[in-house]
Structure 1
Amino acid sequence: MDQLTPVVPDDNKQAYAVTEVTPEDAGDVQVDVHTHLRDGVQRKMEQRHIQMIALAGTLGTGLFLSSGKTIAHGGPAGSVLSYILTGSIAYCMLTCVGEMAVYAPISGGYIHYIERWLHPAIGFAVGWQVCIQYCLFLPSEIIAANILISFWDQAFPKARQAGYMLILMAFAALINYFGVRWFGESEFVFALIKIALVVGLIIGGIVLDLGGGPNHDRIGFRYWKDPGAFAPYHEDSGFGYFLGFFTNLLQAAGSFAGIESIAFTAAEVKNPRVALSKAIRRLFWRIAIFYVVLVFVVGLLVPYNDPNLLQSTGTAASSPFVIAFNRAGVKVLPSIINAAILTSAFSAGSSLMYSVSRMLYGLALRGFAPRFVAKTTKQGLPVVALSIVACFFGLSFMSLGDGASTVLNWLSNLNALLVLYSPSVGFKLTHVSIGYITWMMIGVTYLRFKKGIEAQGIDRTAWRYYNRFQPWPAYWVIFWSSIVLIFSGWEVFTKGHWSAQDFVIDYITIPIFLVLAGGFWIVKRPRWLKAHELDMFGNIPKDEDVECDEPAPKTWFGKVINFLFT
């Protein structure tokens, strides 16, 4: 097949000419085989960076502030079960995308995999929906961080609000403009803070539950007995306990939102196959400890009928842990928790900027966006894509006109029309998330990917990472994603709750997705490829092309970090 091979190589760039190459040589190709554009990003992210991004990168304000709503809707048991099920869906999805990323650690992430191994029309639809989603999340994260600052600045005049937002936006943008190595270092530090917060909350919650608080009240499983382990949501329906659990699947999905974006780091991390393999394997424990255990502990401390669980101040006052510690007479924690959550909100904005800029860059490489968007600097920075994304930060200033809560609701409604879901603040949730469509498409893509490698005689068991239980994890993702998408709008069909507006918000994701995919197919008419025709070789680097020997750390601190995170 005709592909591009290097003819004038140097350290950072390569020129290319069209030549005939065999599948065995195709690993040397360093450009996109469809558009003939050079992939200009460089591998400057350390293994410890990606390990920490995988470990705590998507721990956001949604988990710390809004997890109380899952307790209120489903009770402590219903909340834990919903996080276990959603966590299992997320992990199975990660085994799918992880296996593809280890095989093909190149730009574009899962969007490229969907376009390449499923269908270009599906890749186009998923790519642009997710890009628009993330671009609109950016101002939401800045406004969320601004509201968190108001926890200390009670006067909070608009002039200072503008100053706070400008500082937050500039800092997030500079981290990304300095390059992927600085981004990796910042996320490493923010991840350490989030991990310390989670561990501290779990330990403090257990101590409080066992009677170690100022009031020495031993709670135990008291609230699992009274008012109960499950909360009746829409009790008049006769299925209240189940509906509370099912509703929490959407709330829990917000806490896991963006976890699949780890695939976008594959093109910029050193030793990608080694780094990604370790990251995916460790994600199971991250989900079990950081999500399930945390929600279990908070369910021990607060009864589901506490009215404070449904408040949405946007600050630490909304945190179920602050509510629990206040009930026990501990008054010192709110400021500490608020500060840690503030770093989570800022980290979310910075990581969103990174992810969506790499999505836009990958779309340009695939020919789904203008070619100039794929321009990179000599240091491998996709400067055009970053600049386009940075412009969306400016929407944050709209909060100075009508108030932050109004703009958050406005962005939520706009997101609803684009089928989006915000994991950050407890404002009105869009019931159907593009995340579940993305997860489902990743599962379907993996099935096609697996058929392709089998049809072309590739032994996946020889890779650094593969899941021995496949394709069952892919089926699990597809099944549950379909169930949630179909029944996510159940509430509008209950007696007295019909609303045409809510129905549109709940289900418009599906027709928009179909319109995007169908429109691309009508214009481009890409052919459906059989398994033996799928491109399993082009632009995929060999191990010797991406592996390198990293120098051993010399300091004791470096040795500890290397032991824990590589």
Structure 2
Amino acid sequence: MDKRWQASKSSQEIVETVASDDRYDFDFHDLDRVQRRLKQRHVQMIAIAGTIGTGLFLGSGNALQVAGPLGALLAYGLVGTVAYSSLCCIAEMTTWAPISGTFPHYAARWVDPALGFAVGWNYFYSNAVSVPVEISAAVILMTFWDSNTNHAAIYTAIIVILVCAINIFGVRYFGESEFLFSSFKLILIVVLLISGLIVDIGGGPSHEVIGFKFWINPGAVNRAHLVTDLGADRFLAILNVIIQAAFSFQGMELVCIAASETENPRRNIAKAVRRVFYRIVVFYMLGILMIGVLVPFNNPALLSRVGTAAQSPFVIALNSAGVKAFPHLVNAGILTSALSAASSFLFASSRVLYGLSIRGQAPKWLAQTTKQGLPIASVLTTSVFALMAFMTVSAGVETVFNWFVNVSTTGGFIGWFSINLTYVFFHRGMTAQGYELKKNVYNNPLQPYLAYWGMGWTLFFVFMNGYAVFFKFNTSLFLTAYVNIPIFAALYFGYKWMYRTRIWKPLEMDFITGIPTIEETEMPPEPPVTFLEKVGDVLF
């Protein structure tokens, strides 16, 4: 039996941590060859990219149409707190252990190796399949300028090459692309919010003061038309948007997945996460509020499912007010969001696959890296999934593609749940072994209650995401909503049965082995000198 002794951080007492088997030795430092090439500005913009995307530019219109302005605002507000809780949990664990493998490895290290295996593979295939989904969305966005369907295959090929190249060229190129994409999205949403406010108070070409009149007529909350009781039906409409909003917020954890390739990861990730809450409030909540006062939920244009800027509630609102200059700009912004999302999903899935490989839970050849520290085998393997985007070009296989994609949609919810669950175990183990959590580089004073909040709601999302099928049962929709649950269970219990793993007790958890110290990862901060450096320090 392998025994490791360590000094308690708070009391200098000797605490014995025990790993049950050499298979669970967590010292993979010599195998982990990625390099820290992402800078602070990259990390900050990656954090922003996780909060602004097609869910805000396009999906918010459907949310408004389904639940009304107040219903959409409540739904996005609730899900924002759940997303924030999950991000706080992974951030605290990441600033303690900024290593490859991220939260699947934390689950294996502090909960159960079988959970780490199941979570890792679940997160990998969920994100890998999302790559062609975003590529297909980008191709649809191109039809806003070119309606010739014969060009779809050409656009698909160009975007597949672009997305894969961004990741194959290295993490620095990925960081720079996210910086550019996020900068454009940030500028666009700020312009849209200011323009929307001007229109609302009567500054548009029509000079009509809108105010909150649409909250009165047609109303603040729409009906789902599933039950006859008015209150219950409105609740179901809000519930429908809660599930939709949860999908919109997925991907915020990317900033922590990139920790093993980030300069000064503890300081930069802590700084980024502390600012995410304000970005959720400013961009998402103000964005949802703005479209809610500008567009009535019964506007026929909200029913559009063209997938381009014509569907965006911002464009609908500004067009109604007589402002015609925004559709092309908004479509370009949504296009960058789709490209950014595809690149981010490829990055996240390849890094999780790499982490599984270096820890023996995936084929060893997937751990191969270049001299520059790029996990090339995992990146190329994940890039193959991008080719699935060509399935949408052929009408014969498009249905199969959509079904396969929908199967993985609960993967993000399972990932969030595991993050919160792992944090609960992490908190218990750290406390039992005498560590002072407040001395970690990042610690949220609301923990572990934030984790409990996140666990409860993400479990709710997993089981309720297909609730509408029970009002009018459809076998295909039921399977796509819930088949991922038995798949995850099979991964967990199959690995557990094969390797006879067990759940770690608090005093058995290893918080030291293979984890670099603060001195090894953090360089002294360089204070800004020039004016531009000071501005950048405030923004990033």
User: Which band: TM-score by shorter chain?
Assistant: over 0.9
Alpha-carbon distance between aligned partners in 2 of 1:375 and 1:237, rounded to the nearest angstrom = 59
Alignment equivalent of 2:160, drawn from 161, 169, 177: 169
Distance in 1 (CA, whole Å) between partners of 2:96 and 2:303 is 44
Once residues 480 and 157 of structure 2 are traced to their aligned partners in structure 1, the CA distance between those partners, rounded to angstroms, is 32
**Amino acid in structure 1 at the alignment position of 2:323:** V
- Of 146, 169, 194, 1:203 maps to 194
Amino acid at match of 2:539: L
SS at match of 1:415: helix
2:108 aligned with 1:131: no
8 Å CA contact 1:49, 1:187 repeated in 2? yes
3-state SS of paired residue (1:451): helix
Structure 2 SS opposite 1:157: helix
Provide the residue aligned with 1:472 in structure 2.
Answer: 449
RMSD (CA atoms)? 2.2
Aligned to 2:14: none
The partner residue of 1:436 within 404, 413, 419 is 413
- Which residue is equivalent to 2:267? 274
Residue 232 of structure 1 is matched in structure 2 by 223
Which moved further from structure 2: 167-176 or 111-120?
167-176
Give 1:383-402 correspondences, 5 Å limit.
383-402=376-395
| 1:517 and 2:495 aligned | no
Pick aligned residue for 1:324 from 301, 317, 320: 317
User: Secondary structure of the equivalent of 1:303?
Assistant: coil
Q: Report the Cα distance in structure 2 between the residues aligned to 1:563 and 1:479, rounded to whole angstroms.
A: 35
Corresponding residue SS for 1:329:
coil
Distance 2:117 2:80 in 1: 27
Q: Could you say if the C-alpha distance between residues 227 and 152 of structure 1 is closer, same or farther in structure 2, counting changes exceeding 3 Å?
A: same
- The 1-side partners of 2:475 and 2:154 are apart by 40
> How has the CA–CA distance of structure 1 residues 73 and 515 changed in structure 2, closer, same or farther, with 3 Å as cutoff?
same
Find out whether 1:293 has 2:268 as its counterpart. Answer: no
**Residue type at the aligned position of 2:290:** V
Please state if 1:113 is matched with 2:106: yes
Partner of residue 303 from structure 1, selected from 296, 303, 328: 296
Match of 1:506 among 472, 481, 494: 481
Which letter maps to 2:26?
V
TM-score, normalised relative to structure 1: 0.88
Q: Is the 8 A contact 2:170 2:374 kept in 1?
A: yes
Asked if the contact 1:272/1:547 (under 8 Å) is kept, the reply is yes
State how far apart, in whole Å, the 1-side matches of 2:204 and 2:82 are. 36
Amino acid aligned to 2:415: T
Pair 63,411 (structure 1): closer, same or farther in 2 beyond 3 Å: farther
Cα deviation, 1:16-56, whole Å, max 9, x if unaligned, reads xxxx886799xxxxx97266751100111101110111123
d(CA) in 1 for partners of 2:146, 2:533: 38
- Residue by residue over 1:418-469, the C-alpha shift from the partner in whole angstroms, topping out at 9 and shown as x without a partner, is xx23xxxxxxxxxxx2222221111111110011111111111111210111
Q: Distance in 1 between matches of 2:434 and 2:445?
A: 17
CA contact (8 A) 2:27 2:514 kept: no
Aligned to 1:411: 401
How many residues are matched? 525
The amino acid that maps onto 1:482 is: L
Q: 1:386: how far off?
A: 0.7
Aligned to 1:486: 463
String of CA shifts for 1:268-327, please: whole Å, max 9, x gaps.
111111001111110100111111110110011111112221211011111011111121
Corresponding residue number in structure 1 for 2:514:
539
The equivalent position to 1:221 in structure 2, one of 208, 212, 219, is 212
Distance 1:325 1:364, change over 3 A: same
Q: Which whole-Å deviations, capped at 9, do the CAs of 1:161-196 have from their partners, x for residues lacking one?
A: 333222222222222222212211111111111111
CA contact (8 A) 1:135 1:392 kept: yes
Q: Do 1:23 and 1:537's aligned partners in 2 also have CA atoms closer than 8 Å? A: no
Matches of 2:526 and 2:438, distance apart in 1: 29
Whole-angstrom distance in 2 between the partners of 1:488 and 1:220:
34
The yes-or-no answer on 1:33 pairing with 2:16 is no
Structure 1 pair 237/110, CA: closer, same or farther in 2 (3 Å)?
A: farther
Tell me the distance in 1 between the aligned counterparts of 2:122 and 2:306. 29
Q: Distance in 2 between matches of 1:296 and 1:130?
A: 32
The answer for unaligned runs of 5 or more in structure 2 is 10-23
Q: Which of residues 172, 180, 187 is equivalent to 2:178?
A: 187
Give the C-alpha shift of residue 2 in structure 1: 6.2
Q: Residue 356 in 1 paired to residue 349 in 2?
A: yes
- 1:472 CA drift (Å): 0.7
In structure 1, the partner of 2:425 is: 448
In structure 2, C-alpha distance between the alignment counterparts of 1:557 and 1:440, rounded to whole Å? 41
Are the equivalent residues in 1 in contact too, given 2:270–2:441 (CA < 8 A)?
Answer: yes
Report the CA distance between 1:154 and its aligned residue.
2.6
| 1:480 CA drift (Å) | 1.3
Distance 1:171 1:481 in 2: 34
- Paired position in structure 1 for 2:16: none
Query: Residues 76-87 of structure 1: matches in 2 within 5 Å?
Result: 76-87=69-80
The question of whether the paired residues in 2 share the 8 Å contact of 1:372 and 1:384 is answered with yes
Are the structure 2 counterparts of residues 165 and 484 from structure 1 closer, same or farther at C-alpha, using a change threshold of 3 Å? closer
The verdict on how the C-alpha distance between 1:272 and 1:34 changes in structure 2, with shifts beyond 3 A counting, is closer
- 1:59: Cα distance to partner? 2.0
Could you tell me how far apart the structure 2 residues matched to 1:140 and 1:551 are?
41
Deviation at 1:261, TM superposition (A): 2.3
SS, match of residue 236 in structure 1:
coil
